[in-house]
């Protein structure tokens, strides 16, 4: 799997999702959770290649979909209000949120071979189209393409900083992260475990990778407590 060295060059802290799942499970259990007191939710792009949420939903029992194109939490205040109100009695919420990008077998970013296809396709299509539309001044229509229009709005202020494709999911993630935190604060959510980062989609026969950028616990009245270094230590990159 030659592309792994390319992947590690672009994203040194990427880790295969089976390893991530094990460590996250260990830590969530250590923090006193089980599948009965935790409601899983996700804000990720609806692209069928984003299959980490399927594994997490299976492990934790349910899945509330908070996201839309490129991974933005487009269900907004109403979605977060509903999600928070569905948490088990005396229980907590667990959100996976992420941008994503594909890498092909040759180590080229932004494209992958999908199941049943001969040719490779763009990944993330929404983020890549947003980048091109802003650069070409051909922004999409709010009425008929509302989510894509919003993705372009979010990306607009970073356009001059994205001189290489590998930087695109980082800026998308930054905007998703800001929006999620605003919604959690506005909604005065119940206790939330946050796992955020970049999903790296690989050839359809291989497992995906993930770059963990956020692992925090939000508690009402107390704010956020950062546990990312604990997660990274357990992932043992070397
Ligand atoms: Zn996408």
C-alpha 170 – ligand 1 centre gap (Å): 13
pLDDT digits (tens, 9 = 90+) for 68-96: 999 999 999 999 999 999 999 999 999 99
pLDDT digits (tens, 9 = 90+) for 94-111: 999 999 999 999 999 999
C-alpha 98 – ligand 1 centre gap (Å): 10
Prediction pTM value: 0.96
pLDDT digits (tens, 9 = 90+) for 16-31: 999 999 999 999 999 9
C-alpha 71 – ligand 1 centre gap (Å): 7
C-alpha 99 – ligand 1 centre gap (Å): 7
What are the residues whose beta carbon lies below 5 Å from ligand 1 (ion)?
A: 45, 47, 124, 126
- Residue 53, classified by CB atoms within 10 Å of its CB into exposed (0-12), middle (13-18) or buried (19+), is buried
Output the average pLDDT for the chain. 95
C-alpha 102 – ligand 1 centre gap (Å): 9
CA angle (3, 13, 218) in 5-degree steps: 140
CA nearest neighbour of 220 among 195, 176, 186: 186
Query: pLDDT grade, residue 238 (50/70/90)?
Result: low
C-alpha 136 – ligand 1 centre gap (Å): 20
C-alpha 45 – ligand 1 centre gap (Å): 5
C-alpha 47 – ligand 1 centre gap (Å): 5
CA angle (8, 12, 15) in 5-degree steps: 80
C-alpha 165 – ligand 1 centre gap (Å): 14
Round to whole Å and give the CA distance between 164 and 131.
Answer: 11
Question: For the range 115-123, what are the long-range contacts, defined as Cβ-Cβ under 8 Å and sequence gap of 24 or more?
Answer: 115/204, 123/47, 123/49, 123/201
pLDDT for 186 equals 85
């Amino acid at each position: 799997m030659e592309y792994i060295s390319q992947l590690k060059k672009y994203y040194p802290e990427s880790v295969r999702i089976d390893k991530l799942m094990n460590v996250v499970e260990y830590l969530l259990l250590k923090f006193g959770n089980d599948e009965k007191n935790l409601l899983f939710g996700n804000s990720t792009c609806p692209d069928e290649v984003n299959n980490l949420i399927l594994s997490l939903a299976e492990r934790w029992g349910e899945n509330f979909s908070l996201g839309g194109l490129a991974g933005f939490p487009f269900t907004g205040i109403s979605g977060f209000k509903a999600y928070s109100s569905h948490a088990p009695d005396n229980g907590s919420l667990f959100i996976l949120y992420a941008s994503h990008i594909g890498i092909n077998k040759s180590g080229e970013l932004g494209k992958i071979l999908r199941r049943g296809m001969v040719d490779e396709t763009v990944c993330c299509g929404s983020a890549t189209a947003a980048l091109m539309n802003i650069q070409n001044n051909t922004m999409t229509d709010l009425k008929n393409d509302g989510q894509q229009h919003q993705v372009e709005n979010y990306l607009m202020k970073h356009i001059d900083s994205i001189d290489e494709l590998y930087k695109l999911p980082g800026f998308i993630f930054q905007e998703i992260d800001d929006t999620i935190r605003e919604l959690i604060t506005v909604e005065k959510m119940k206790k939330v475990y946050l796992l955020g980062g970049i999903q790296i989609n690989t050839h359809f026969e291989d497992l995906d990778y993930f770059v963990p950028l956020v692992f925090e616990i939000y508690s009402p009245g107390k704010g956020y407590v950062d546990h990312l270094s604990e997660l990274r230590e357990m992932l043992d990159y070397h």
